[in-house]
Chain A
Amino acid sequence: MDAKQDTPEKGVRTPVSTRLQEYKLTFKILVESPSSAVGLLIVLIYSAIAVIDFTYPSLLGVQDAFSMVPDYSNPVPSAPVWPIHPFGTTFPGVDLYQAVMSAIRVDLWYSLLIVLAGAAIGTVVGVLAAYVGGYLDEALMRFTDIFLSVPYLPFAIAVAFVLGRALDDVSIALAIVWWPLYARYAYGQALSVKENAYIEAAKASGVGTLGIVFQHVIPNVLTPIFVQISLDLGTVVQVFAALTFIGFASANPLLPELGTLISNGFQYAVAAPWVVFFPGLAILIFAIGMNLLGDGLRDALDPRGRT
């Protein structure tokens, strides 16, 4: 394919320089809007926390990034004291600031995996159904409909329950529950992409069905899918933490995870509000940032919104 780059293929593919300009323009529109700039900033800060927590946790003041450090001699939550315990401590004597920092990494990582897995499966299924059509369309989309017949949260609870109730099982369950949404979305996008002249041209030049699907249709539905991913990430973080809050992953109560933290603090919530306040706030701020960024991306990538 690369050898033929400057012969007939040239008209089909966008040159790299134009694409780069396109990205620059998108970025410019994005940061010019105050709300999406704030969203981008929040997401960048969270990503930085996650990366630093994984590589140099001591920079954040975190002792152990992979497990909370309990103090069983003093398990009852104590109020925030600057600078030893800026967020206070939570049951069982864990410094809440360190726990929240590491939990941000864990939650971000799992949510990203869930959304990417869901988007990958959903996009392939949706695009194949839309492009090939006929019986495959019916079979794949009815199969998708079956998954959409139960509201996602109870469904995820049921699937995670049969898989085994650990964090990995919760993530697999959420990916299983999440891909149909992407299948539906990619299906709609692919139906319109399919009608383009370049698909006709590829077909005429003898590219096989799978070749067209993976080289021409999927790359052209990726932009809207990407926007959808950024909009979904804020929701998935919430749903993931919701599942751990109601008791999934309770086998390891010392794993830093935002939902588990809220769940650990649940019985102390009234007497020691900070034990549920800070972990929830961490979810809320990330979700706000991700939603602002997602809205901004959608507007920036939509040519009709540009002036």
Chain B
Amino acid sequence: MKLRYYIARRVLLLIPTLLGLTLIVFIISHVGGSARLIGAYINIHSSVPVVVQEQQLMARFHLKDPLVVQYFYWLAAFIQGNWGYTQTSIYSGTVLQAINLFFPNTLVLSVLASVLTGIIGIPLGVWSAVRKDSVLDQATRAISFAGYSIPLYWLGLILIITFSTSNVCSCLNILPISGTVTVNLISGVDWYISGISYPTHVLLIDSLIHGRLDIFGDAVLHLILPVVTLTYGTMASVLRVMRSSMQDTLNQDYVRTARAKGLEEKTVINVHVRRNALIPVCTLLGYTIASLLGGVVLVEAVFDYLGIGYWTTQAMLNGDVGGIMGATVIFGLAFIFANLAVDVTYGFLDPRIRH
């Protein structure tokens, strides 16, 4: 199969998955009954009696129809971008607007963590396998093992305790321990309103657009602890799989051949082993993305970092269906498309997959 047919097939397979996702979200938003669905729309100060408003809303959202019919009405509205309203202590408005405001922050966190995971995890896994049972290997294995077992939010809390004022050493009091930016620095800035920066909603970019290097530096400092926490959580599995996959590949016949014909060890590792060892890591990336997206929720909750994960926990605490639904959609979409990218890369790396 040619690569483009493989990609086309893989994209077509998205349709049932996406429909499945909408089904999940539909069930999540409708299980609580109609009262919960229309609650956000009722205006108790209006001159129209609440009972009449309820009747109108029931009719407007087709809530008296059979569930199957409701699903199609809901799906139509969903595709048209009408995702309902969210009402939490950090934001009230349409779900789409909330996603637009919070997603960029989460994206920054996830992308930085995954880039760091790749930069550190892959070479470390390679070294660890090549120098098997050395001190470096033992240390790497211990680090990776601890990463599996440590609760991510607890690691975050321990970092907060360590870097806060004089708990361990006042010399460590250099990193901010929560939020996205120092309040004093940002107060009175007209492109930053209640935790959200404009126009791109990514503080790192917005501060550069407005030429405020001090705010940029401050935002970078605020990112360090959350990114480190998230990276450590996701790196454990990458390290482990990279190491075992390198070891498997090192035992392959073609590697023995390469050594037998007198190639330098460096060439053997770099040319023959590493690329092949990356294939299982690619498969693993799907799971890594899942743990990354799950980890984001916890890390944002611990560090008061204003992203989708923080919004989710707020929505949960405030009983807000819109927020929970929006977060499920966005996490599901991110996951599905990340897996698509992984599969395409996989097909590209390994021609056997395409058949």
Contact surface of A with B, Cβ cutoff 8 Å: 142, 145-147, 149-155, 157-159, 161-162, 165, 234-235, 238, 241-242, 245-248, 250, 262, 266, 269-270, 273, 276-277, 280, 283-284, 287-288, 291
- Contacting pair B164 A151 (CB below 8 A): no
Having A142-B20, A149-B24, A151-B289, one finds 5 other A-B pairs with CB under 8 Å, namely A151-B291, A154-B309, A245-B153, A246-B298, A247-B316
- Contacting pair A269 B161 (CB below 8 A): yes
- Contacting pair B28 A247 (CB below 8 A): no
Residues in B neighbouring A234, C-beta threshold 8 A: 148-149
Q: Which listed residue (A147, A241, A270, A287) contacts B149, Cβ 8 A?
A: A287
- Contacting pair A238 B316 (CB below 8 A): no
Residues in A neighbouring B153, C-beta threshold 8 A: 242, 245-246, 262
Residues in A neighbouring B250, C-beta threshold 8 A: none
A291 to B293, CA, bound (A): 22
Q: In the complex, how many angstroms separate the beta carbon of B129 from the nearest chain A beta carbon?
A: 17
Contact with A along B310-329 (1 / 0, CB 8 A): 00110011000000110110
A209 to B115, CA, bound (A): 49
Q: In the complex, how many angstroms separate the beta carbon of B25 from the nearest chain A beta carbon?
A: 8
Name the CB-closest residue of A to B294. Answer: A153
- Contacting pair A149 B298 (CB below 8 A): no
Q: In the complex, how many angstroms separate the beta carbon of B171 from the nearest chain A beta carbon?
A: 17
B271 at the interface (CB under 8 A from A): no
- Contacting pair A146 B20 (CB below 8 A): yes
A276 to B158, CA, bound (A): 8
Residues in B neighbouring A150, C-beta threshold 8 A: 21, 24, 328, 331-332, 335
Query: B284-305: which residues lie under 8 A (CB-CB) from chain A?
Result: 289-291, 293-295, 297-298, 301
- Contacting pair A159 B16 (CB below 8 A): no
Q: Which listed residue (B17, B150, B158, B312) contacts A277, Cβ 8 A?
A: B158
Known: A146-B21, A153-B297, A162-B28. A273 touches B331 (CB 8 A): no
Known: A154-B331, A242-B152, A288-B149. A273 touches B297 (CB 8 A): no
- Contacting pair B331 A162 (CB below 8 A): no
Known: A149-B17, A277-B158. A154 touches B24 (CB 8 A): no
- Contacting pair A158 B21 (CB below 8 A): no
Residues in A neighbouring B211, C-beta threshold 8 A: none
Residues in A neighbouring B324, C-beta threshold 8 A: 157-158, 161-162
Name the CB-closest residue of A to B167. Answer: A273
Q: In the complex, how many angstroms separate the beta carbon of A39 from the nearest chain B beta carbon?
A: 11
Name the CB-closest residue of B to A231. Answer: B148
- Contacting pair A142 B16 (CB below 8 A): yes
Name the CB-closest residue of B to A142. Answer: B16
A277 to B152, CA, bound (A): 13
Residues in A neighbouring B208, C-beta threshold 8 A: none
**Residue from B28, B289, B294, B336 whose CB has the most chain A CB atoms within 10 Å:** B294
A146 to B24, CA, bound (A): 8
Residues in A neighbouring B313, C-beta threshold 8 A: 157, 246-247
A250 to B146, CA, bound (A): 29
Known: A142-B16, A161-B324, A262-B157. A154 touches B150 (CB 8 A): no
Residues in B neighbouring A146, C-beta threshold 8 A: 17, 20-21, 23-24
B81 at the interface (CB under 8 A from A): no
A150 to B160, CA, bound (A): 30
Known: A149-B336, A161-B316, A280-B157. A270 touches B164 (CB 8 A): yes
Known: A151-B335, A159-B28, A276-B157. A241 touches B297 (CB 8 A): no
9 tightest Cβ-Cβ pairs between the two chains A and B: A153-B294, A146-B20, A280-B154, A287-B149, A154-B331, A151-B293, A150-B332, A151-B290, A288-B149
Residues in B neighbouring A238, C-beta threshold 8 A: 149, 151
Residues in B neighbouring A245, C-beta threshold 8 A: 153, 298, 301
A184 to B301, CA, bound (A): 31
Residues in A neighbouring B294, C-beta threshold 8 A: 151-154
**Residue from B16, B27, B148, B165 whose CB has the most chain A CB atoms within 10 Å:** B148
- Contacting pair A262 B154 (CB below 8 A): yes
A283 to B149, CA, bound (A): 8
Residues in A neighbouring B298, C-beta threshold 8 A: 153, 242, 245-246
A61 to B192, CA, bound (A): 54
- Contacting pair A276 B301 (CB below 8 A): no
Name the CB-closest residue of B to A285. Answer: B149
Residues in B neighbouring A246, C-beta threshold 8 A: 153, 297-298, 301, 313, 316
Residues in B neighbouring A155, C-beta threshold 8 A: 24, 328, 331-332
A234 to B149, CA, bound (A): 7
Query: B71-85: which residues lie under 8 A (CB-CB) from chain A?
Result: none
B66 at the interface (CB under 8 A from A): no
B145 at the interface (CB under 8 A from A): yes
Residues in B neighbouring A153, C-beta threshold 8 A: 293-295, 297-298
A248 to B301, CA, bound (A): 13
Query: B145-183: which residues lie under 8 A (CB-CB) from chain A?
Result: 145-146, 148-154, 157-158, 160-161, 164-165, 167, 177
Q: In the complex, how many angstroms separate the beta carbon of A196 from the nearest chain B beta carbon?
A: 26
B188 at the interface (CB under 8 A from A): no
B31 at the interface (CB under 8 A from A): yes
A137 to B238, CA, bound (A): 31
B262 at the interface (CB under 8 A from A): no
Q: In the complex, how many angstroms separate the beta carbon of A131 from the nearest chain B beta carbon?
A: 23
Name the CB-closest residue of B to A283. Answer: B151
